[in-house]
Amino acid sequence: MEFRVTDRPRSVWTGDALVIGLFEDKVELTGDLAQLDEKLAGTLKESIEELDFKGKAGTSAINRVGGSSPIRKIAIVGLGKAADLKLDTLRQAAGICAKLARKEKCKTLGISFPLWQNDADATAAAIVEGAELALHQDNRFKSEPEDKNAQIQEIELLGFAGSESAIVRARQITAGVILARELVAAPANYVTPITMAETAESLAAECGLELEILEQADCEKLGMGAFLGVAQASDLPPKFIHMTYKPAGTPRRKLAIVGKGLTFDSGGLNIKGAGSGIEMMKVDMGGAAATFGAAKAIGHIKPDVEVHFISAVTENMISGRAMHPGDILTASNGKTIEINNTDAEGRLTLADALVFADKLGLDAIVDLATLTGACVIALGEDIAGLWSPEDSVAAELIAASELAGEKFWRMPMEEKYFEGLKALHADMKNTGPRPGGSITAALFLRQFVKDTGWAHLDIAGPVWTDKENGYNGPGATGFGVRTLVHWALSNA
111 Cβ neighbours under 8 A, 6+ residues apart = 19, 21, 94, 97, 127, 131, 155, 156, 157, 158
315 binds Mn ion (CB under 5 A): no
In the region spanning residues 317 to 346, those forming contacts with Mn ion, defined by CB under 5 A, are: 343, 345
106 contacts 112 by C-beta, under 8 angstroms: no
Query: In the bound complex, what is the minimum distance in angstroms from residue 441's beta carbon to Mn ion?
Result: 11
Among 346, 420, 461, 480, binds Zn ion (CB under 5 A): 346
String marking each residue 246-285 x if it binds Mn ion according to CB under 5 A: -------------------x--------------------
CA separation, residue 438 to residues 344, 345, 353, 372 (Å) = 11, 13, 19, 6
Among 129, 132, 265, 406, binds Zn ion (CB under 5 A): 265
Query: In the bound complex, what is the minimum distance in angstroms from residue 179's beta carbon to Zn ion?
Result: 21
Query: In the bound complex, what is the minimum distance in angstroms from residue 187's beta carbon to ligand BES?
Result: 15
Question: H or E stretch including 295?
Answer: helix 286-301
**What's the angle, vertex CA 95, arms to CA 90 and CA 101, rounded to 5?**
120
Query: In the bound complex, what is the minimum distance in angstroms from residue 270's beta carbon to Zn ion?
Result: 11
**46 has which bridge partners?**
none
Give the strand pairing for 71-78 and 108-112. unpaired
* Size of interface with Zn ion, in residues (CB under 5 A): 4
In the region spanning residues 282 to 321, those forming contacts with Zn ion, defined by CB under 5 A, are: 284
Q: Which residues of 27-62 are buried (b: 16+ CB within 10 A; e: fewer)?
A: eebeeebeebbebbeebbeebbeeeebebebebbbb
Binding site residues, ligand BES, CB under 6 A: 265, 283-284, 341, 343-346, 370-374, 376, 431, 437, 460
Q: Which of 347, 407, 429, 446 is catalytic?
A: 347
Closer residue to Mn ion in complex, CB, 265/396: 265
Q: Which of 246, 272, 335, 410 is catalytic?
A: 272
227 contacts 353 by C-beta, under 8 angstroms: yes
Query: In the bound complex, what is the minimum distance in angstroms from residue 134's beta carbon to Zn ion?
Result: 29
**Backbone φ, ψ for residue 444 (5° rounding):** -60, -50
Closer residue to Mn ion in complex, CB, 265/358: 265
Tell me whether residue 335 is one of the annotated catalytic residues.
no
Query: In the bound complex, what is the minimum distance in angstroms from residue 343's beta carbon to Zn ion?
Result: 7
User: Residue 199, exposed/middle/buried by CB under 10 A (0-12, 13-18, 19+)?
Assistant: buried
Closer residue to Zn ion in complex, CB, 79/350: 350
CA 86/CA 116 separation, integer angstroms: 7
| Binding-site partner at residue 16 among Mn ion, ligand BES, Zn ion, none, CB < 5 to 8 Å by type | none
Closer residue to ligand BES in complex, CB, 265/306: 265
* Size of interface with Mn ion, in residues (CB under 5 A): 3
84 Cβ neighbours under 8 A, 6+ residues apart = none
Query: In the bound complex, what is the minimum distance in angstroms from residue 339's beta carbon to ligand BES?
Result: 11
CA 117/CA 478 separation, integer angstroms: 26
| Binding-site partner at residue 132 among ligand BES, Zn ion, Mn ion, none, CB < 5 to 8 Å by type | none
Closer residue to ligand BES in complex, CB, 55/346: 346
Closer residue to Zn ion in complex, CB, 59/438: 438
Closer residue to ligand BES in complex, CB, 66/433: 433
328 contacts 336 by C-beta, under 8 angstroms: yes
Q: Which residues of 162-184 are buried (b: 16+ CB within 10 A; e: fewer)?
A: ebeebbebbbbbbbbbbbbbbbb
**Backbone φ, ψ for residue 296 (5° rounding):** -65, -50
Mark the segment that binds Zn ion (CB under 5 A) among 41-49, 345-353, 401-409, 457-465.
Answer: 345-353
Closer residue to ligand BES in complex, CB, 132/338: 338
Tell me whether residue 347 is one of the annotated catalytic residues.
yes
CA 135/CA 150 separation, integer angstroms: 11
Helix (H, G, I), strand (E, B) or coil at 152: coil
Nearest residue relative to ligand BES (C-beta): 373
Query: In the bound complex, what is the minimum distance in angstroms from residue 320's beta carbon to ligand BES?
Result: 22
CA 366/CA 262 separation, integer angstroms: 18
Report, as residue numbers or ranges, the catalytic residues: 272, 347
**Binding stretches for Zn ion (CB under 5 A):** 262, 265, 284, 346
**Binding stretches for Mn ion (CB under 5 A):** 265, 343, 345
